[in-house]
Amino acid sequence: ADILIRMDNVEKYYGSFHALKNVNLTVQRGEKIVLCGPSGSGKSTLIRCINHLEPIKSGRIVVDGTELSDGQKSIDIVRREVGMVFQQFNLFPHMTVLENCMLAPMRVRGVKREEAEATARRFLERVRIGNQADKYPAQLSGGQQQRVAIARALCMEPIAMLFDEPTSALDPEMVKEVLDTMVGLARDGMTMICVTHEMGFARQVADRVIFMADGEIIEENTPEAFFQAP
Ligand code: ADP
Ligand code: ADP
């Protein structure tokens, strides 16, 4: 089997607080996982550990054959390969949409300006926001900004995408446009782990729904089984 992301016996603490308890997870290439569970159960922590935004205490995380260690080299490799989208869009306010999308490919991957611009324009088109390329983030709606954040991550040509409650900060009327973009990505075969409370999205795209509570994975199932009334 082609396993892209694997977590073995991962333990995570914040000080003395035990945030992840013996987490084991394998994600196949092309698989879509929805992570759900109550607030504070460790969902965000779990995905943040995958690209080492949070260090772990023990256990093992392997992304496409690279084992994460505290050394900068493996962290750089994994961050280049795994794109992340946050609840807050985290766009640079002083840069245009286009510049936001060109920055990391040029800085981190050494892509030439012309190629970075062509790639950025292509992905901005793909999230249907190509006509906003020269605007600044504050000139866009929340839903548009989140689609820019998705395009920006895609410009690094990641092998997998992590979404941390990408629609939670949006006004209700903008949730659908962002979910539609994510559904499109899923249909194109992207490997995805999504922390979301959008259960309609989970039913529509998830291969597996994972339920967490108190830092532990307590259920893993297909959406059909997961949402079946008991
Ligand atoms: P979820 O995404 O399921 O809401 P989180 O992963 O954000 O949960 O948080 C899990 C637990 O870890 C919560 O109790 C939270 O308060 C705690 N926590 C998260 N980040 C930190 C931090 N930087 N320092 C201390 N505790 C934290
Ligand atoms: P679309 O339907 O193409 O996603 P919208 O109808 O959301 O676009 O927005 C139309 C125009 O209004 C956009 O060019 C955008 O820049 C601007 N706009 C939308 N919402 C806001 C907002 N909250 N603040 C500032 N400008 C906005």
pLDDT (tens digit, 9 = 90+) per residue, 76-128?
999 999 999 999 999 999 999 999 999 999 999 999 999 999 999 999 999 99
Instruction: Report the distance separating Cα 179 and Cα 33, nearest Å.
Output: 14
Torsion (CA) 201, 4, 151, 84 in degrees, nearest 10:
80
For ligand 1, atom 12, which residue shows the shortest CA distance?
A: 19
ipTM above 0.90, yes or no: no
Cβ atoms 127, 185 nearer than 8 A: no
Instruction: Report the distance separating Cα 9 and Cα 196, nearest Å.
Output: 24
Q: Where do runs of H (alpha helix) occur along 69-198?
A: 72-81, 97-109, 113-126, 142-154, 172-187
Expressed in percent and rounded to 5, the helix, strand and coil fractions of the chain are 40, 25, 35
Among the bound ligands, the one closest to the CA of 134: 2
The predicted model scores a pTM of 0.88
Alpha carbon of 42 to ligand 1 centroid (Å)? 6
